[in-house]
């Protein structure tokens, strides 16, 4: 019974290590007024079509994602986004495993960002 209890605690701790914080488009808009690390994790083609100003493109599906991520400052917050949130969630998990502690994932991706911009 004690081993089962310890195993459950371990699972909970490992889950929390890979959780990331979601951020709304409105909050991200306010953060952009500061100098932040904003990463578009979509393909280069998607990035070229439209991206948030000052975002750097690091495709999460490319084999060099982890190497490219090492150019970011681990001590500063990192904000990631994709089209709808699936790839950015994957990127956030990878960044956490690389030692980044402050990772924020744009809820709804650039789709929510664009929808917010249209409402202004």
DSSP secondary structure code for residue 99 in this structure: T
Residues 83-117 have pLDDT tens digits of: 999 999 999 999 999 999 999 999 999 999 998 85
DSSP secondary structure code for residue 104 in this structure: E
> Do residues 83 and 43 lie in contact, with contact meaning Cβ atoms separated by under 8 Å?
no
Segments making up each domain of the chain, as ranges: 20-119
Question: CB neighbours (10 Å) of residue 112?
Answer: 18
DSSP secondary structure code for residue 33 in this structure: T
Over 90: is that where the pLDDT of 4 sits?
no
Per-residue pLDDT band for 28 (boundaries 50, 70, 90) equals very high
Over 60: is that where the pLDDT of 77 sits?
yes
DSSP secondary structure letters along 45-84: HHHHH---TTPEE--TTSTTHHHHHTTS-TTS-EEEE-SS
Counts for the chain of helices (H) and strands (E), in that order = 6, 5
How far, in whole angstroms, is CA 2 from its chain's centroid?
36
Over 50: is that where the pLDDT of 11 sits?
no
- Which sequence positions are flagged as catalytic? 82
Q: How far apart are the first and last CA of the chain?
A: 57
The CATH superfamily label for domain 20-119 reads Rhodanese-like domain (3.40.250.10)
């Amino acid at each position: 019974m004690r081993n089962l209890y310890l195993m459950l605690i371990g699972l909970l701790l490992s889950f929390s290590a890979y959780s990331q914080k979601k951020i709304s488009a409105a909050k991200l808009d306010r953060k952009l007024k500061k100098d932040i690390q904003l990463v578009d994790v979509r393909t280069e083609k998607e990035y070229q079509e439209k991206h948030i100003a000052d975002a750097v493109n690091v495709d999460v599906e490319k084999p060099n994602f982890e190497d490219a991520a090492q150019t970011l400052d681990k001590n500063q917050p990192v904000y990631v986004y994709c089209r709808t949130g699936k790839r950015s969630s994957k990127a956030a998990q990878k960044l956490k495993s690389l030692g980044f502690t402050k990772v924020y994932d744009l809820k709804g991706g650039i789709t929510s960002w664009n929808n917010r911009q249209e409402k202004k």
